[in-house]
Amino acid sequence: MFREICLVCPNDKHYRKWLKDNNFISDPKRIPCPFAHEYHLQLYKLENIIRSIIKLHLEECPNRILQWNNRNKYGRYRIHYRELDYVYAPDQTPRLFIEIKHRETTTTGKDGIAQIKKSLFIAQHAWQNVSGVCINVMMADILGIETDIIPDFIPLTEIPTVLASESQPHDEIHVLWLDSKEVATFAIEHGLLTKEEVDDLPRLHKLARNPTKYLNTEFE
């Protein structure tokens, strides 16, 4: 079913061409919504901060794009790709795929698991012992969103032990929850974010969700 499975870097020219051919790269002439764009840039920063935290304990594999060939309905093999948020691959052998998500509630965590499952289903045709984990950053507190359910957070001090366990072969895909406030504190202390940027996240979130309503409220 799947053949020529490998990992390539995000800058691989064939991968970049595939993104463009399949309209996964935005038209540079198209101006995105400035409100949503700014908020998502901050989320991307937070994702990179999580990568930095993981990297302190598990060496990052620069090749985090899963590539494979699959036969289409016409019997022809075509190349496909899936982006992975983080790959741990000691000795060039993938051991752990990590999906990083930002969550506003505890009820929106299924897509990360689904993404990991699809990637593992393909990858395990080449590497049987590769496992997966989903890291959710609970954003409700830092965004000022009320929530009745608080997940069991993994303190950042326990990340080394947890990741060491997760990098061992296992079948179940675990979901780890991180507290966004603890992540933000880490980021500020290490110069990865400023306090002003963190304090501005609730405003950016409201602008991204409903800019007209927020701006009307601001100027009343």
Tens-digit pLDDT profile for residues 156-195:
999 989 998 988 888 889 899 999 999 999 999 999 999 9
163 falls within a domain? yes
Domain containing 41 equals 34-62+85-218
pLDDT at 219: 46
Q: Give the pLDDT mean for 60-77.
A: 89
Number of structural domains in the chain: 1
pLDDT at 153: 94
pLDDT at 32: 60
27 falls within a domain? no
pLDDT at 59: 92
pTM: 0.87
pLDDT at 211: 74
pLDDT above 70 for 220: no
166 falls within a domain? yes
134 falls within a domain? yes
pLDDT at 26: 54
170 falls within a domain? yes
Position 186, amino acid? F
56 falls within a domain? yes
25 falls within a domain? no
94 falls within a domain? yes
pLDDT above 80 for 201: yes
- Do 119 and 97 touch, CB atoms closer than 8 A? yes
pLDDT digits (tens, 9 = 90+) for 108-129: 556 688 899 999 999 999 999 9
Query: How does 162-193 read in b/e, with b if 16+ C-beta sit within 10 Å?
Result: bbeebbeeeeebebbbbbbebbbebbeeeebb
